Amino acid sequence: MNIQSSTGNVFRSSAHVGVRQKIARRRALDLPGGILLWKAVGKVLIWAVPVVLAANLWCAHAIDTSSARSLALQQELVQLEDSADELALQRQRLTSPVRVKIAAAEKLSLYEPSAGQIRRM
């Protein structure tokens, strides 16, 4: 039905469509979009879910491996720092002037000359 007026045209539907008619037409188990859409969605999910789960497992394994490697490297770094400190202390002890004089006297029989042994010419 078409009604014309001075303000504009108004169109009314010839069939009365209400909310109850739409609800009454649908069955209880009808899926929105139709069965073909949901079959396609199901096929995609059958292939996508295992791929996503496999990727998740691979990522978790990679994270665990790198975490364990990082922990091992940190422990090795601590051990190397400790050994470097021990070696620095040992070097200081061995290169001290008193230690050098003792080692020269014992192994090479080198002693400091006394005041009477040095003459100026």
CB atoms within 10 A of CB 104: 13
Is the overall model pTM greater than 0.85, yes or no? no
**Average predicted confidence (pLDDT) for the chain:** 84
* Predicted pLDDT of residue 56: 98
Q: Are 3 and 13 in contact (CB under 8 A)?
A: no
pLDDT tens, residue by residue, 27-79: 666 667 778 888 999 999 999 999 999 999 999 999 999 999 999 999 999 99
Assess whether pLDDT exceeds 60 at residue 19. no
Q: How many helices (H) and strands (E) does the chain have?
A: 3, 2
Measured distance CA(108)–CA(8) in Å, rounded: 122
35-to-29, 38, 43, 52, 111 alpha-carbon distances in Å: 11, 5, 12, 25, 105
The domain limits of the chain are 9-117
CA 63 to chain centre: 6
Q: Where are the alpha helices (DSSP H) in the chain?
A: 19-25, 35-94, 97-108
